[in-house]
Amino acid sequence: MAATFHHGPEVIEYKTGSQVIRDVKSAVTYLNGTAPIHELHDTPTKRAAFINKRIVIRTRDEAAAAFGEHEAGFTIPAALDAIFDQGAGGTIIVNNVFDPDFHKEETTPDVSKVTPQEINGTISPAGLATGAKGAYECYNRFGYFPKLFLTPGYSPTAIVRAEMDVVASRLNGIAIADLPLGLTKQQAVEARGAEGTANTSSARTVLCYPHVEIEDTTGAAETRFDPLSSRLAGVIIANDLERGWHHSPSNREIKGVVGLETPINFYPSDYQNDTNFLNEAGIVTAMRSFATGFRTFGNRSAAFPTSNHVENFIHARRILDMAHETIIFYVMNYIDQLGSRHMIEACEDGVNGWLREKSGGTDPAFYGGTFRFDLEKNTSAQVADGKFHYILKTHPVSVMERLTTHSYVDTSFIRDALSLAA
């Protein structure tokens, strides 16, 4: 500050302390699909507000008012119901691609006219996004990115699942997809093979099998099959809200399910379980044992078994994503500040404080972590050019996926019990 003449007292306020670092939102889902909006909104003008527009849904009432009740062939109302069955639901950004004034047979709305290409969507020369690509504009509109990507009913199609993975990779989220209805367990595993439709090693795609059996609210039958992906998304959201984003969604009860498309055998110590058969192929499944209810079962994404990196664990990939995005938004406070020692250390201190918070106590996300100004990469030339490098080192807390008890018979206990001589 330049020196100026002053006669009297003054106060100069400085705001150079460390900024507060906050977690980014994790329980945010991008649900892309079809809804019978013509049953609720009676004119093209009213319907236009619900066609390829991102609508934030936080309650069942909001869901029903915007997208109606489940009807055969439509995917959004059933998915919303599946998510809310599991808990509060978090924040759901819904994108409906069905246009009853365009997708029709003569004058009758026909959801079967919706194509996978429309589900994937486009970005027009004017910047208008449709389908899955609408997720890209969520941060600028709402202030947060989706972290779970859901397209039930369409995700078994390879080109839709591939596009979901592209969007999830760009936005640092997880795409939850289903294998097709009607597969046997062997066919589900074969789908992961070289000639299969689910031949991916992406740590951002979670593959689900089988479909689950739920109540058919349309009245056409007592029950119907529904995608497991919607229920898993609901479990992840409930898990985030109740336990935290660093917890595994596996071995959690699934609500609203009365059966499975095909029986999944499970017994805790049996190596020949159906759950093992599917999990070792990178497929998340559902199981039921005595008095357990139906439960999610599987910790690994489609990166497994190709990758042995910790990111093949669903919870670990999400921990790393949350850490990276939290740090990105925090260090934005320091962009274009003077690169003084004070500012460099203040940036370090803020991130390290957050890492300590997430590494301590009884519910840690990390085993430990450090965030340091890199004294090797930061040469004088780099700093002079405005380039500052930091190194983040950390490791997510592992999940206790396999617990092995090594059992020994020890005769010394006989001696102690009977007071025998040595």
Secondary structure (3-state) at 42: coil
132-to-178, 202, 206 alpha-carbon distances in Å: 16, 18, 17
Where do we find the tokens 């019978």?
A: 36
Return left, alpha or beta for 311; rule: phi > 0 is left, psi -120 to 50 is alpha, else beta.
alpha
DSSP 298-366: --B-TTTTT--SGGGBHHHHHHHHHHHHHHHHHHGGGTTS---HHHHHHHHHHHHHHHHHHHSSSS-SE
pLDDT of res. 293? 95
Nearest one of 285, 231, 257 to 82, comparing CA atoms: 231
Q: Is the pLDDT of residue 7 over 60?
A: no
Tell me what pLDDT residue 24 has: 77
Alpha helices in 191-339 (DSSP H): 228-242, 274-279, 314-331
Give all strands of the β-sheet with 148-150 in edge-to-edge order: 55-57, 91-96, 28-33, 148-150, 174-178, 205-208, 283-287, 295-297
> What is the arithmetic mean of pLDDT over 370-377?
96
Any idea what the Cα angle at residue 60 is, between residues 57 and 61, rounded to 5°? 90
d(CA 230, CA 166): 19
Rounded mean pLDDT, 196-206: 97
Angle between helices 76-86 and 228-242 (to 10 degrees): 40
Helix (H) or strand (E) holding 84, with range, is helix 76-86
pLDDT grade for 422, boundaries at 50, 70 and 90: confident
pLDDT in tens, 243-265: 999 999 999 999 999 999 999 99
pLDDT of residue 304: 97
Query: What residues contact residue 120 under an 8 Å CB cut-off, 6+ apart?
Result: 131, 132, 133, 159, 160, 163
% of the chain residues with pLDDT over 90: 91
Q: Is the pLDDT of residue 148 over 80?
A: yes
Residue whose structure tokens are 């997809």: 177
- In this prediction, residues 77-91 reach a mean pLDDT of 96
If you average pLDDT over every residue of the chain, what do you get? 94
CA 387 to chain centroid: 32
What local confidence, expressed as pLDDT, does residue 154 receive?
98
Residue with the larger pLDDT of the pair 1 and 410: 410
* Amino acid, single-letter form, for residue 184: T
Mean pLDDT of 163-172: 97
Is the pLDDT assigned to residue 302 strictly greater than 60?
yes
Q: Are 266 and 339 in contact (CB under 8 A)?
A: no
The pLDDT-based confidence of 219 (bands split at 50, 70, 90) is confident
pLDDT band at 20 (very low <50, low <70, confident <90, very high): low
> 210 preceded by cis ω (within 30°)?
yes
What average pLDDT score do residues 397-401 get?
97
Distance CA 347, CA 370 (A): 12
Q: Percentage of the chain surpassing pLDDT 70? A: 95
* 21-30, 106-115, 226-235: range with lowest mean pLDDT: 21-30
pLDDT(400) > 70: yes
Tell me how far apart the alpha carbons of residues 243 and 358 are, in angstroms, rounded to a whole number: 13
What DSSP state is assigned to residue 269?
T
pLDDT at 1: 43
Tell me if the pTM is above 0.95. Answer: no
CB 174 within 8 A of CB 149: yes
pLDDT score at 23: 77
Confidence of residue 5 (pLDDT cuts 50, 70, 90): low
Q: Is 165 exposed, middle or buried (0-12, 13-18, 19+ CB in 10 A)?
A: buried
Distance CA 23, CA 318 (A): 13
Q: Higher-confidence residue: 270 or 16? A: 270
> What is the rounded CA–CA span in Å between residue 175 and residue 207?
9
Identify the pLDDT of residue 138: 96
pLDDT at residue 41 in the model: 95
Stretch 308-315: mean pLDDT, rounded?
96
- 311 and 303 in contact (C-beta within 8 Å)? yes
Strands (E), 112-255: 148-150, 174-178, 205-208, 212-215, 223-226
| DSSP β-bridge partners for residue 391 | 372
pLDDT of 231: 98
pLDDT of residue 3 exceeding 60, the answer is no
Measured in Å, how far apart are the chain's first and last C-alpha atoms? 86
